[in-house]
Amino acid sequence: MEPLLKTSNLSKSFGGIKAVQDFNVYINSGELVGLIGPNGAGKTTAFNLLTGVYTPTTGNIEFNGHSLVGMKPYKITKQGIARTFQNIRLFDHLTVIDNVKIAYNYHIKYTLAEAILRVGRYGSEEEVVEKKAMELLEIFNLADKKDELAANLPYGQQRRLEIARALAAQPKLLLLDEPAAGMNPQETHELMEMISWIRKTFDLTILLIEHDMSLVMGICERIYVLEFGKILAQGIPDEIKSNTEVIKAYLGEEV
């Protein structure tokens, strides 16, 4: 069976700097895969390539049998890839529920004229979107915050809202960029359980960037390690833990 996502000799250069070089990865449908490495290794650049923020200098990205190279980010989202960001990017001055509802725009079928005049399919589809958004907020324990501005939420709740918004796009592949950043150990443990749960409940494939090794080793089935833009190693968590090159470059003596 073909992988859901496959990259071939993917590279990105900024002037003379090679941020990502020969990035060859595959992710099978239903997998939860980790992408780790030191700061500046090229992890977020890889995410930006996969989501159309950057155009590759060389190489190909194949998703669900189709090349994504040259596609705009919104078209890639419509193909079935959604992401969160290392630095939270919510619509701060919109309410919590509107942050989630806006992601459903990729799937609405009413026309611009129907929306302006509020006729035809507009009313019925908006009711469906409202209901689905509330269901996601219930899942992430944010239903009681639905009318609050996103900017007023505590950090941990903003992280949950960003994941909820990504799920509203109804992705096949979810990219999580350091979701545990800034969280305490208890919040990280709860996040780990949440990621495992949403993967199963929403039938998702997940690619995860994270520095918290307890989270990565606890939930990922396979792990890729980046160093200086290149894949240093790949394997199951136990193989990565014991890889001497990975220990030297990133993990240190204890994991």
Render pLDDT for 177-205 as a digit per residue (tens, 0 to 9).
988 888 888 888 888 888 999 899 889 99
CA atoms within 13 A on the CB side of 72: 2
pLDDT given for residue 114 in this prediction: 63
Distance (Å, rounded) from C-alpha 165 to C-alpha 162? 5
Distance (Å, rounded) from C-alpha 90 to C-alpha 12? 27
Distance (Å, rounded) from C-alpha 39 to C-alpha 159? 21
Number of domains composing the chain: 2
Write down the mean pLDDT value for the chain: 88
Same domain, 234 and 179: yes
Distance (Å, rounded) from C-alpha 102 to C-alpha 93? 13
Domain membership flag for residue 197 = yes
Residue 8 reports pLDDT greater than 90: yes
Query: Which domain-ending residue is among 155, 189, 207?
Result: 155
- The mean per-residue pLDDT over the stretch 243-254 comes to 78
Residue 255 reports pLDDT greater than 50: no
Structure token pair of residue 65:
């049998």
Domain membership flag for residue 166 = no
* Sign of torsion over alpha carbons 105, 109, 113, 119: negative
Q: How confident is the model at residue 150 (pLDDT cuts 50, 70, 90)?
A: very high
Give the structural domain span for 61. 5-80+171-251
- The mean per-residue pLDDT over the stretch 89-105 comes to 88
